[in-house]
Structures are given as structure tokens and as C-alpha cells.
């Protein structure tokens, strides 16, 4: 459930008219709902009630420091994949003891920064990375808590670009190699193997693959325990899907029940890393129609948002529901909604049935709160859009619109 709804012939974000925000901040514009973020985070946190657990928001989904701060006040930890995300999390006030560092390509300076901050643990993706962390920890004379990311070779039944738990994917170690990594970590005086990690993919619409992976992990933890390695943290990643179109993904409560059943009688702290499921439907992107165009083959609606603002449709062929901010009673027509960028792949929707649109109309692109602005770029030297956080009747500009000066601010002339 989200708090974007139509009332009085207008789209509202909580208690603020979206049209009013467009008048104040222009387009393209990202709008987030604090109430939706709260609801979704608490749904995950409540799903694990009765288990020792930590709900870590996946920063890559939406890294705005104001959203991270809001989630932090609710008790969230974070899952990060870069030194920049660590910097954002610390600036947002997230306790380092609630930060987990994932990702296959951690650089030496990022490892040092994370150790200096005192994060909870590293999710290690390769044997060479483990050796690097051990070497840096020894240089710094500090103990690095580590978790090995296991690749369980489980099909998550999602888009291949966001599948991460198959043996052909770049992520994690198989259990044979992971066994050697754990034994090496146990012997190392500056490594503490405290956890096990697994993340099989994103936009998952079934619990079965998650449970299958969990069962494999539990067998492996028992084997490690027999070797004298006691796993305390079990990080199951994120990946639970959301509704973009007609998907019916499981609820956090469904996932929580499955995890609780599987872990009955075990003393493990469970970590979940939801990103999309918390932020996805907590945000929309609003764009304005510039022109309409008819060719012998197509009807085009040309808008001021482009693939640099929201790349998911171009990158994944992803579907986002698109509706008028102020609905009209015009007849429907099949159109491509496209942006100004000089690429045929620059589109927000193709062959979409929408009301007949005219220049000046505004459209809301729904489910844009995750992997929307966080994947935005300045391609074609287009300044990135503004971001606004709505909380009840209040609206806060949480990122100003970039200017032309911002485009070249870092370039040496």
C-alpha cells in the first residue's frame, strides 16, 4: 500500500496535491512519501518479530540522505555496496553497528573506511577479497568481522539482469570454496567469521526460491559448526518484489513466517536487506508533456523526462504504470512515451494505452522510488531532477534541481 491517491480529480501525495508540487519545483520531479516508507519498513520489521533480527535498507535502491535519515529514526540499519554509500549512511546518522558492506569489488580505501567506522561486518564475495580484508585489518591492528556470501545456485525466477544466485552469476562463493574461506578466516588473527550471507536476486515474486536457498544455508551452517565455526548472523539479503503492473508478490509477513519456521530452535540473528520493497512504491516521478507526434507507424508522446532520469524501462524493459496527474475524459490511444535523449532506446513506455495527451499535461510515473533517481545520470548534459519528500501536509526539497554550472563543476578548465 502507498499514499499516492486520487481525490477531488487530482493526484495527491499524502496531504499535498502533486500539481502543487509541480508548480513549486518543476519537472521532471521525484516525489517520495514518508508515510509509505514508514509503513513498508515497519512491515518488514514486524515480519521478523520474535526473532533476533536487523532490517537493513539497501542503500543502492535510493541513497538520498534524507530518506536514509528517516528510516534510521525507525531503527533501520543499512546494506551498502560502496564507500560513498558508507559516507551517506554515516551522514544520515545510521549506527555503524547496523551497517553491512556487500558488493563484489570493494576497494582497499573503502575497506579501510569501513573498518575505521566500525561497521557490523563485510559480506565477502571472493577468496582474494577475504585476503585483502585480512591484510588491511592486520595493518590497522583491528579485527574485521566477516560473512561469506554463498552462491546457492538457486533460480530466483526473475529478470536475468537482477538474478544473483545462480552459478553463472558473479556473486558469492559456492559452498566448497566457501568452506576453505571460512577455515582460512578462522585461523587469521584479524578476521572474525561471524556470519553467512545469501542474496539470490531482485524483484522476487515467489517465496519458494528464498526458502530453498535458506535450507541450503542451514545445512552449511551445521557443517561449519561441526568444524568449530559458529555462525551468529544469517543475512538473507533482500529482493522481495513489488507491484509494478499485475504482479502479486508475497507480503513481508509471508516471508517472515517462512523464515521463522525454518529457524525454529536456532540461535541466529537474521538480517534482511530490502530496498525496492521499502522504497519502490514510496516514490513517483512526474514529467510534463512537451509535444505529441504522429508517424505512419506510431503515436509518440514526447515528455521532459528521459532515460537519464529513469533508466529502468530502457535497461530492463521494465514496466511502470503511467497516469495523468489531473485526469481528463479524453479518448484513449496507444502511444510510446519517449524522452528528449538522442537514443531510440529512450522511452518510459511503449505501446501504452493512455488518454489523448496534449503539450503541458503532466504524467505520474509510479513505482519510481527504487532504482529511479539512484540510477540517474547527466547523459546528454541534462541536469538531474529535484527530489521532494512529503510528510503529511509538509513537503521538503531534499535535493535541488541541478544547474548547468553543476554539470561542469568538477571539470578542470
Show which residues are catalytic. 342
Residues paired with 291 in a beta bridge: 302
**What does DSSP say about strands 283-294 and 29-33: parallel, antiparallel, or unpaired?**
antiparallel
* CA distance readout (Å), 43 to 37, 49, 64, 207, 253: 10, 10, 21, 16, 7
Q: What does the DSSP assignment read for 389-404?
A: EEETTEEEEEEPPP-H
Using CA atoms, how far apart are residues 64 and 49, in angstroms rounded to an integer? 28
Using CA atoms, how far apart are residues 90 and 72, in angstroms rounded to an integer? 10
Using CA atoms, how far apart are residues 88 and 94, in angstroms rounded to an integer? 9
Strands (E), 209-260: 233-235
> Residue 316 burial (CB < 10 Å; 0-12/13-18/19+)?
middle
Note the Cα 215 to chain centre separation in Å: 25
* CA distance readout (Å), 301 to 30, 290, 318, 384: 20, 8, 18, 21
Using CA atoms, how far apart are residues 12 and 21, in angstroms rounded to an integer? 10
Binding-site residues for pyridoxal 5'-phosphate: 239, 273-276, 371
Binding-site residues for substrate: 276, 312, 316, 343, 371
Helix (H, G, I), strand (E, B) or coil at 338: strand
Using CA atoms, how far apart are residues 83 and 158, in angstroms rounded to an integer? 28
Amino acid at each position: 500500500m502507498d499514499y499516492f491517491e486520487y481525490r477531488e480529480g487530482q493526484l495527491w501525495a499524502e496531504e499535498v496535491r502533486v500539481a502543487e508540487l509541480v508548480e513549486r519545483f518543476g519537472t521532471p520531479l521525484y516525489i517520495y512519501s514518508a508515510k509509505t516508507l514508514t509503513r513498508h519498513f515497519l512491515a518488514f520489521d514486524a515480519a521478523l518479530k520474535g526473532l533476533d533480527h536487523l532490517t537493513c535498507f539497501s542503500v543502492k535502491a535510493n541513497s538520498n540522505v534524507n530518506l536514509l535519515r528517516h528510516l534510521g529514526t525507525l531503527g533501520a540499519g543499512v546494506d551498502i555496496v560502496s564507500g560513498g554509500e558508507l559516507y551517506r549512511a554515516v551522514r544520515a546518522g545510521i549506527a555503524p553497528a547496523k551497517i553491512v558492506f556487500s558488493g563484489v569489488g570493494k576497494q582497499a580505501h573503502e575497506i579501510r573506511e569501513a573498518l575505521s567506522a566500525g561497521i557490523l561486518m563485510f559480506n565477502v564475495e571472493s577468496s582474494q577479497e577475504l585476503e585483502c580484508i585480512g591484510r588491511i585489518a592486520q595493518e590497522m591492528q583491528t579485527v574485521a568481522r566477516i560473512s561469506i556470501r554463498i552462491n546457492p545456485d538457486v533460480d530466483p525466477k526473475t529478470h536475468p539482469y537482477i538474478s544473483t544466485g545462480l552459478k553463472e552469476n558473479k556473486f558469492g562463493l559456492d559452498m566448497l570454496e566457501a568452506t576453505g574461506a571460512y577455515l582460512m578466516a578462522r585461523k587469521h588473527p584479524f578476521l572474525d567469521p561471524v556470519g553467512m550471507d545469501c542474496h539470490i536476486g531482485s524483484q522476487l515474486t515467489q517465496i519458494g526460491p528464498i526458502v530453498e536457498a535458506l535450507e541450503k544455508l542451514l545445512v552449511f551452517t551445521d557443517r561449519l559448526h561441526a568444524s568449530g565455526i559458529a555462525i551468529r548472523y544469517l543475512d538473507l539479503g533482500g529482493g522481495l518484489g513489488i507491484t509494478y503492473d499485475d504482479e502479486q508478490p508475497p507480503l513481508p509477513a509471508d516471508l517472515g513466517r517462512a523464515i521463522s519456521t525454518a529457524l525454529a530452535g536456532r540461535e541466529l540473528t537474521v538480517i534482511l536487506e530490502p530496498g525496492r520493497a521499502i522504497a519502490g512504491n514510496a516514490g513517483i516521478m512526474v514529467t510534463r508533456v512537451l509535444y505529441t507526434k504522429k508517424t505512419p507507424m506510431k503515436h509518440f508522446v514526447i515528455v521532459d523526462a528521459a532515460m537519464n532520469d529513469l533508466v529502468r524501462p530502457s535497461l530492463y524493459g521494465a514496466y511502470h504504470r503511467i497516469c495523468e496527474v489531473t485526469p481528463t475524459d479524453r479518448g484513449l490511444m496507444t502511444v510510446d512515451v519517449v524522452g528528449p535523449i538522442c537514443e531510440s532506446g529512450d522511452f518510459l513506455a511503449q505501446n501504452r494505452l493512455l488518454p489523448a495527451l496534449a503539450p503541458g499535461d503532466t504524467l505520474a510515473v509510479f513505482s519510481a522510488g527504487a532504482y529511479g533517481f539512484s540510477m540517474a545520470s547527466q547523459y546528454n548534459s541534462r541536469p538531474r531532477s529535484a527530489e521532494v519528500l512529503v510528510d503529511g501536509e509538509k513537503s521538503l526539497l531534499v535535493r535541488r534541481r541541478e544547474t548547468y554550472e553543476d554539470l561542469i563543476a568538477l571539470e578542470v578548465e
